[in-house]
């Protein structure tokens, strides 16, 4: 027999590391333990299982060729010995043994190892409120919880649900309840927006509106203060402002690394609570590796350590673990935090830093707002989506790309395109030249991502000056913020007329784009002209024309009416 390898944790990184190291070292003795009875499942599929899109939980546990990935399968197909219902309770780093405890028989024993892999995952952050133990209150911590939730719904026991937490899992669960089961669903998020710290306030507004349009009642800036029960069963969730009736409550306030075992045996733990690893995925003990949700990795834009609980990264890290145990010097450099998620008929996603997070990290950041078509504008069924490209003014480095659009692959494709570029520190100019394939059924001749870079280039060089869609909507809500502003609306007269009528010619004036060169003198010179078009492209051109005619105070509304209407300005 060759090396003895013990893997703790059996969802994503663990099975990946175990299976590959057995392939690389066919005579190794590879053992995987997990305290759960279910292993190697697609955790990210849980919302689709609850919704009914995926009929059977076994689908989440099967290979693409319909083999159930249980202990027997791992023995038969992978040559890996799996003990389920078996908890690792202690590690003796001197003796190189892992103590494991059989939850059924209560038997304890020590598994000797040459290399140990910790893939202990993450756990839900417990809410500091009463009522978590009531019947009907769940976290999405594992597949068992999902099965119990779906069972409860299928039995007709759920007519009103409250989701606590406006992160990805909370939003996906809200969709699952509403879309396919018709459950009256509310979502509360204690911070001021959905996906806080992940996307900008602008994109969060679009997501918020889209959830509301699909009958999810969203309450941001309202933390759950208590979960209220009657006779042991949940009946409501209370916030500072209201009481939301509920016969089902999902706690989805985020996750944290499950690193107790590592901490207990003296491995280094980082500031975020995750296990510290090097690029080979080795912990502070070179015989112990760690991968997946339980580790801290490097953010490739900020350079700082962070926790990224993504199944895709867990698989990559697990592969690097296996390589290094087998003597192949692979490395995992870190992450740009790329993500995408569906919400009803739309999606939101991105990578790198948003404008807010970039500024918080100390960058001299700015952001271009564009609303490109996802195919040639003359091609049937093209759709507009919204992109934000965040960049550093000093270095011209692109820091992040985020967007909101229809739930097709158009946004994902641009995140895919940006990934290598952002991880390698590419500039606005690299993005302007980034070569993306074009044919009318798939993209535009000037691709969405190129156009976003062009806008950033124009901003960075001072040719375009803008206000953000958020700033514009704040002014619309309260004109007193900037009494000297006047909207110069260059959209089609039909579109502009509605707004001119609503706000009056003292605040809103219309001259179509192609007449701006001839009629610029109709605009007053003592006001700041707020230039509005559909996407922010034509107003950039008009800004240059006006500037050449001596108009010094003009601002383009980034993203134009396409941004504004998706953020809730239904009067546009």
**306 makes contact with its own copies (CB under 8 A):** no
Joined together, the tokens standing for residue 466 give 């803008």
Q: Which residue of the set 44, 294, 346, 347 is catalytic?
A: 44
Binders of its own copies among residues 35 to 64 (CB under 8 A) are: 42, 44-45, 48, 53-54, 59-60, 62-64
Pairing label, strands 115-118, 108-112? unpaired
| Distance (Å, whole) CA 477 – CA 449 | 31
Pairing label, strands 97-102, 255-257? unpaired
Which element (helix H / strand E) includes 230?
Answer: strand 226-230
Helix, strand counts (H, E) of the chain: 18, 31
**Residues that contact its own copies, how many (by CB under 8 A):** 104
**265 makes contact with its own copies (CB under 8 A):** no
Beta-bridge mates of residue 119? none
Backbone angles phi, psi at 440, to 5 degrees: -55, -35
Joined together, the tokens standing for residue 131 give 């009522």
**548 makes contact with its own copies (CB under 8 A):** yes
**27 makes contact with its own copies (CB under 8 A):** yes
| Distance (Å, whole) CA 182 – CA 515 | 50
State the nearest-atom distance from the C-beta of 380 to its own copies, in Å: 6
CB nearer to its own copies: give 96 or 397: 397
3-state secondary structure of 518: helix
CB nearer to its own copies: give 150 or 316: 316
Stretch that binds its own copies, among 105-113, 121-129, 265-273, 436-444 (CB under 8 A): 436-444
| Distance (Å, whole) CA 364 – CA 394 | 7
For the chain, how are helix, strand and coil distributed in percent, rounded to 5? 30, 25, 40
Binders of its own copies among residues 115 to 154 (CB under 8 A) are: none
**377 makes contact with its own copies (CB under 8 A):** yes
State the nearest-atom distance from the C-beta of 198 to its own copies, in Å: 12
User: By the 8 A CB rule, do 547 and 529 touch?
Assistant: no
| Distance (Å, whole) CA 534 – CA 531 | 10
44 a catalytic residue:
yes
Among 1, 65, 94, 477, binds its own copies (CB under 8 A): 65
In the block, residue with structure tokens 């027999």: 1
CB nearer to its own copies: give 223 or 440: 440
Measured CA angle at 192 (ends 189, 197), to 5 deg? 90
Query: Which among 231, 252, 247, 109 is positioned nearest to 172, based on CA atoms?
Result: 252
Binders of its own copies among residues 347 to 366 (CB under 8 A) are: 347, 349, 351
**In sequence order, which ranges of 135-232 are alpha helices (DSSP H)?**
143-154, 168-181, 201-213
Binders of its own copies among residues 330 to 349 (CB under 8 A) are: 330, 332-333, 335-336, 338-342, 347, 349
Binders of its own copies among residues 229 to 258 (CB under 8 A) are: none
**23 makes contact with its own copies (CB under 8 A):** yes
State the nearest-atom distance from the C-beta of 514 to its own copies, in Å: 4
Among 38, 322, 434, 510, binds its own copies (CB under 8 A): 434
State the nearest-atom distance from the C-beta of 440 to its own copies, in Å: 5
**497 makes contact with its own copies (CB under 8 A):** no
**454 makes contact with its own copies (CB under 8 A):** yes
User: By the 8 A CB rule, do 559 and 521 touch?
Assistant: no
User: By the 8 A CB rule, do 234 and 246 touch?
Assistant: yes
State the nearest-atom distance from the C-beta of 410 to its own copies, in Å: 6
Question: In angstroms, what is the C-alpha Rg of the chain?
Answer: 27
CB nearer to its own copies: give 18 or 127: 18
**394 makes contact with its own copies (CB under 8 A):** no
CB nearer to its own copies: give 500 or 544: 544
State the nearest-atom distance from the C-beta of 48 to its own copies, in Å: 6
| Distance (Å, whole) CA 80 – CA 72 | 9
**430 makes contact with its own copies (CB under 8 A):** yes
**513 makes contact with its own copies (CB under 8 A):** yes
State the nearest-atom distance from the C-beta of 325 to its own copies, in Å: 15
CB nearer to its own copies: give 225 or 357: 357
| Distance (Å, whole) CA 96 – CA 92 | 6
Stretch that binds its own copies, among 73-81, 95-103, 252-260, 501-509 (CB under 8 A): 73-81
Residue numbers annotated as active site: 44
């Amino acid at each position: 027999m060759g090396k003895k390898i013990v893997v703790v944790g059996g969802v994503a990184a663990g099975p990946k590391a175990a299976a590959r190291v057995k392939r690389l070292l066919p005579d190794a003795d590879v053992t995987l333990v997990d305290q759960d009875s279910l292993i190697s499942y697609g955790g990210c599929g849980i919302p689709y299982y609850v919704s009914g899109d995926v009929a059977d939980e076994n689908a989440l546990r099967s290979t693409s060729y319909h083999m159930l990935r249980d202990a027997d399968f791992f023995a038969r197909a992978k040559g890996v010995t799996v003990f389920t219902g078996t908890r690792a309770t202690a590690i003796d780093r001197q003796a190189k043994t892992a103590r494991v405890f059989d939850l059924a028989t209560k038997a304890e024993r020590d598994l000797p190892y040459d290399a140990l892999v910790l893939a202990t995952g993450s756990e839900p952050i417990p809410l500091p409120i009463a009522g978590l133990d009531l019947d009907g209150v769940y976290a999405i911590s594992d597949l068992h919880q999902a099965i119990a939730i779906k069972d409860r719904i299928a039995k007709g026991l759920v007519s009103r649900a409250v989701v606590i937490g406006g992160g990805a899992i909370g939003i996906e669960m809200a969709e699952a309840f509403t879309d396919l089961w018709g459950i009256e669903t509310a979502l509360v998020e204690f911070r001021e927006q959905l996906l806080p710290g992940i996307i900008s306030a602008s994109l969060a507004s679009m997501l918020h509106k889209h959830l509301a349009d699909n009958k999810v009642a969203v309450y941001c800036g309202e933390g759950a203060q208590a979960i209220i029960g009657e006779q042991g069963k949940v009946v409501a969730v209370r916030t500072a402002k209201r009481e939301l009736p509920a016969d089902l409550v999902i706690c989805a306030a985020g996750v944290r690394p499950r690193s107790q075992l590592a901490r207990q045996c003296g491995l280094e733990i980082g500031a975020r609570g995750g296990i510290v690893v090097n690029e080979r995925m080795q912990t502070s003990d070179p015989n112990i590796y760690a991968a997946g949700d339980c580790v801290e990795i490097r953010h490739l834009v900020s350079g700082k350590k962070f926790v990224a609980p993504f199944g895709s990264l867990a698989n990559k890290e697990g592969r690097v673990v296996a390589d290094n145990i087998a003597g192949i010097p692979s490395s995992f450099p870190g992450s740009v935090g790329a993500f995408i998620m569906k919400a009803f008929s739309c999606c939101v996603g991105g990578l790198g830093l948003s404008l807010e997070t970039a500024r918080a990290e100390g960058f001299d950041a700015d952001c271009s707002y564009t609303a490109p078509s996802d195919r040639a504008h003359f091609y049937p069924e093209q759709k507009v989506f919204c992109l934000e490209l965040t960049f550093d003014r000093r270095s011209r480095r692109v820091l992040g790309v985020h967007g909101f659009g229809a739930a097709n692959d158009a946004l994902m494709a641009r995140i895919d395109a940006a990934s290598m570029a952002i991880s390698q520190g590419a500039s606005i100019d690299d993005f302007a030249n980034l070569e993306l394939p074009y044919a009318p059924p798939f993209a535009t001749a000037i691709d969405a991502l190129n156009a976003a870079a062009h806008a950033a280039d124009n901003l960075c060089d001072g040719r375009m000056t803008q206000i953000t869609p958020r700033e514009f909507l704040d002014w619309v809500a309260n004109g007193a913020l900037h009494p000297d502003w006047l909207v110069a609306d260059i959209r089609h007269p039909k579109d502009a007329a509605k707004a001119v009528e609503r706000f009056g010619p003292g605040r809103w004036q219309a001259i179509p784009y192609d007449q701006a060169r001839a009629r610029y003198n109709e605009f007053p010179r003592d006001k700041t002209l707020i230039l509005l078009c559909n996407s922010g492209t034509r107003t950039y051109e008009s800004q240059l024309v006006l500037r050449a005619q001596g108009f010094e105070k003009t601002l383009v509304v980034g993203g134009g009416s396409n941004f504004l209407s998706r953020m809730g300005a239904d009067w546009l």
